[in-house]
């Protein structure tokens, strides 16, 4: 468990294949990929204690969704690994008690960047976006959301549209985070949106505020630090 400090970013590499656990661009599937320098191969650690038992949860640095084992439609005695929202505090499919006992994985610690990366250029899907502006201290009402319809997958265009909706004249004045379910933690949104067209919850911070300054951006291109 010491390999997974709360809030850290890690990559999981197969000792057998040498490939990394990778969040697919559809926002749902999980595969093995050799593109370790991609943000899709980076996972943030979420430590959780329930009734005295410590659990590890992992949410993707790309889309903020949680690594989950689904038993449905899987061979008996096995599970299918997918990305899911963490909406129910009793949800068990996203919790792991002893992840460091998996002998076939190497855990690589990912250092933080000095600041957020440049957003990718716009690319040529319509989805519902729920958004809420947070205070400078990270507070927001999780029950009250505004809504807009967004075309495409470009995170740059999404920031522009949300800035316009909020009356911000400069889109650089806002920083976006995605929430991976009502029980999930916030993930800085710096990659284009997944292509599943699923509704996304976006929390908006003022760039330069205390809350925005405390966000951590993993340096996916850094040399691995095995733990």
- Burial of residue 78 (CB within 10 Å: 0-12, 13-18, 19+) is exposed
C-beta separation of 11 from 224 below 8 A: yes
What is the Cα–Cα distance from 131 to 85, expressed in whole angstroms? 16
**Domain-located, residue 220:** no
Query: Do 103 and 130 reside in the same domain of the chain?
Result: no
Q: Which residues are bridge partners to 148 per DSSP?
A: 129
Range of the domain at 153: 126-213
What DSSP element (H or E) covers 81? strand 80-84
Query: Do 111 and 132 reside in the same domain of the chain?
Result: no
Query: Do 100 and 50 reside in the same domain of the chain?
Result: yes
**Both structure tokens of 95:** 């919790």
Query: Do 132 and 62 reside in the same domain of the chain?
Result: no
Tell me the per-residue pLDDT of 93-118, one tens digit each, with 9 for 90 and over: 877 766 555 557 899 999 999 999 88
**Domain-located, residue 45:** yes
Phi and psi for 17 in degrees, rounded to 5?
-90, -25
The per-residue pLDDT for 214 is 93
Of the residues 115, 150, 168, the one at which a domain ends: 115
Give the residue, 76 or 23, on which the prediction is more confident. Answer: 23
Tell me the per-residue pLDDT of 84-94, one tens digit each, with 9 for 90 and over: 999 988 888 87
Task: Give the CATH number, domain containing residue 135.
Answer: 3.10.20.90
**Domain-located, residue 38:** yes
Query: Do 82 and 155 reside in the same domain of the chain?
Result: no
Tell me the per-residue pLDDT of 121-152, one tens digit each, with 9 for 90 and over: 876 578 999 999 998 776 788 888 999 999 99
Query: Do 74 and 98 reside in the same domain of the chain?
Result: yes
Of the residues 75, 92, 115, the one at which a domain ends: 115
Domain count, the chain: 2
Percentage of residues of the chain with pLDDT beyond 70: 89
């Amino acid at each position: 468990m010491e390999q997974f400090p709360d809030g850290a970013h890690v990559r999981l590499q197969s000792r057998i294949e040498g490939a990394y656990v990778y969040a697919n661009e559809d926002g749902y599937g999980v595969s093995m990929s050799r593109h370790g320098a991609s943000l899709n191969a980076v996972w943030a650690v979420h430590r959780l204690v329930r009734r005295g038992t410590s659990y590890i949860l992992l949410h993707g640095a790309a889309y903020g969704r949680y690594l989950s084992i689904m038993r449905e439609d899987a061979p008996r005695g096995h599970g299918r690994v997918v990305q899911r929202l963490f909406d129910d505090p009793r949800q068990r499919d996203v919790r792991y008690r002893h992840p460091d006992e998996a002998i076939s994985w190497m855990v690589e610690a990912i250092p933080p960047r000095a600041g957020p990366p440049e957003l990718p250029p716009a690319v040529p899907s319509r989805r519902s976006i729920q958004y809420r502006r947070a205070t400078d201290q990270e507070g927001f009402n999780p029950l009250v959301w505004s809504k807009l319809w967004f075309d495409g997958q470009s995170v740059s265009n999404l920031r522009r549209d949300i800035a316009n909706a909020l009356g911000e004249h400069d889109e650089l004045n806002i920083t976006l985070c995605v929430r991976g379910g009502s029980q999930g933690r916030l993930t800085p949104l710096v990659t284009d949106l997944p292509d599943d067209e699923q509704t996304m919850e976006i929390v908006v911070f003022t760039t330069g505020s205390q809350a925005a300054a405390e966000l951590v951006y993993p340096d996916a291109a850094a040399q691995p630090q095995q733990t």
